[in-house]
Amino acid sequence: MVWPVIMGHVTETANTEWCAYKLGLEITDRQRVIKGVKHSFMRCTLDGRINGYKNRQAVYDAKYTAGRPMSGEEWRDVIPRLVKRYTPQLHWNAFLIEEATGKTCPHGVLGIVRAGNEPVIHEVPINKKYTLELISMANYFIGCCDLGIEPADIVATEPPVPNDEKIPVDMATTNHALKWKHHAEIGPKLLARLTVLKKPKPSSRN
């Protein structure tokens, strides 16, 4: 058993309901299984599909993370890493949604729960070229399995992560900046006060 996987399962409904509330849109087709038409090896189980997202439809996926950085990683890099990790899945599912509905699905939406915080919504535009590359790699891999041939090294391009997800958090535009400014201002005053309190009091004995 893997704890993050269990947490992802138990928080999925709350995550989805909260994102639907924040977006003001209904998230449908939850846990719908879609099988590929053009490619029989393709299949997915949706976390959801959003109708009317920017006047189109979007594939939705709910994710959970404990939020801790990996070795050598900064805290600010956690969410961009997760968006990059799940971008291929959004593209795969969007392709199957388009087949099933007969309508384009140009948007992917991730609802990410970080530890105990409310979900944060991240949008990933669906890139047709990248989708076709994913399917091509999968087709090659399945073909090797069918023929009993070991696949050669597969070199894939980087997932098309939105530029906004690559930009570090600007402390000047968040409440963190105000908090650090406040701490910087009161820090010396508190230190001076503590120094006074720690000074030994004159003895009252003669």
- The residue-averaged pLDDT of 30-44 equals 97
> Does residue 10 fall inside a structural domain?
yes
CATH number for the domain including 50?
3.90.320.10
Task: State the total domains in the chain.
Answer: 1
Residue 141 located in a structural domain: yes
Q: Look up tokens 């900046």; give the residue.
A: 177
Average pLDDT, the chain: 85
What is the pTM (predicted TM-score) of this model? 0.77
Q: Which domain holds residue 49?
A: 3-166
Q: Which two tokens stand for residue 205?
A: 């004995």
What's residue 82's pLDDT? 94
Question: What are the pLDDT digits (tens) for 118-171?
Answer: 999 999 999 999 999 999 999 999 999 999 998 887 777 788 887 765 433 344
Say which residue the tokens 């023929």 belong to.
147
Evaluate whether residue 44 is within a structural domain: yes
Residue 183 lies in a domain: no
Q: Does 190 reside within a domain?
A: no
Task: Annotate 135-162 with DSSP letters as a single string.
Answer: HHHHHHHHHHHHHT-PPPPPP-PPP---
In a domain, 202, yes or no: no
DSSP class of residue 32? -
Name residues whose C-beta falls within 8 Å of residue 27's C-beta, 6 or more positions apart in sequence: 16, 19, 20, 48, 49, 50, 60
Residue 178 lies in a domain: no
